[in-house]
Amino acid sequence: MGYKSDVQATRFTTTTTNAIISPSVRLRGVIAANTDSTNAGVVKLTTTSQAGANLFTIDVPAGDVVNFSLPEDGILFPKGIYVSTFDTVAAVTLLTDKYSGPGPSY
């Protein structure tokens, strides 16, 4: 079995024009929660900016939590991770390769 790198969890609760994660990073998994019992939710992740290339979309059924692990090396976000759409979702946690981000430095 090959070596797998450490992961880091980054949680967000809304869309922003700023990068959720600014350095180049690989997305390994996503946990998204929808507390609305009637409407499904959606989150779209882009790179370079909010209007950048859409690299990942996750649909979250009404009143549900989705825990999705990406196979192999995940998805590379070469210019960071941005959020273009954040509808009817309470919170999202991104599981990525470990990086030095805001807060603790590793």
Give the span between the Cα atoms of 80 and 13, in whole angstroms.
18
Select from 74, 28, 19 the least CA-distant residue to 47: 19
Q: What is the pLDDT of residue 16?
A: 86
Predicted TM-score (pTM) of the model is 0.86
Collapsed DSSP state (helix, strand, coil) of residue 70: coil
Give the span between the Cα atoms of 75 and 71, in whole angstroms.
9
Q: Check pLDDT > 70 for residue 28.
A: yes
Q: Regarding predicted confidence, which is higher, 91 or 72?
A: 91
Say which CATH architecture domain 7-97 belongs to: Sandwich (2.60)
Residue 83: count other Cβ atoms within 10 Å of its Cβ. 21
> How does pLDDT run across 42-68, given as a tens digit for each residue?
999 999 999 999 999 999 999 999 999
Give the span between the Cα atoms of 105 and 98, in whole angstroms.
10
Domain ranges of the chain: 7-97
